[in-house]
Amino acid sequence: MGYTVLMFTANWCAPCGMVKKYLGELATEYGFTLRIVDVEQAPDLVSLYSVSSVPTLILFRNDQPVSRLNGGVSYDRLRRWIADYVRT
């Protein structure tokens, strides 16, 4: 199965940088694709996925959204979230 995490972010978002770093590490470990979306550059995607805050993370399996996580979260929380869906 193919997994992708879509991360909605913005340049002015302080917690987004750490979450992005953590996701990069986890993408290497778990083998999912990480796609970064700047909310100011992609308003159509923001609307399509009803994003109202950043960071917003949406996990897709085979191009279908299966889970969502909002806000600045710890590495451990992100790891648990990914591990619940993506098996190595």
Q: What integer pLDDT is reported at residue 7 of this predicted model?
A: 98
Catalytic residue among 5, 6, 7, 16: 16
List the domain range (segments joined by +) for residue 62.
3-83
Q: For residue 88, is pLDDT > 60? A: no
pLDDT in tens, 28-70: 999 999 999 999 999 999 999 999 999 999 999 999 999 999 9
Average pLDDT value for the chain? 95
Catalytic residue among 10, 13, 18, 69: 13
How would residue 4 be classed by pLDDT, with cut points 50, 70 and 90? very high
Q: How far apart are CA 13 and CA 28, in angstroms?
A: 24
For the question of residue 16 being annotated catalytic, the response is yes
Q: What integer pLDDT is reported at residue 1 of this predicted model?
A: 64
Q: For residue 87, is pLDDT > 90? A: no
For the question of residue 13 being annotated catalytic, the response is yes
Has residue 88 been placed in a domain? no
Check which CATH number belongs to the domain holding 20 and give it: 3.40.30.10
| Count of domains observed in the chain | 1
Considering only residues 1 and 77, tell me which one the structure prediction assigns the higher pLDDT.
77
Has residue 60 been placed in a domain? yes
Distances (CA, A) of 23 to 1, 31, 40, 44, 75: 19, 11, 21, 23, 8
Has residue 9 been placed in a domain? yes
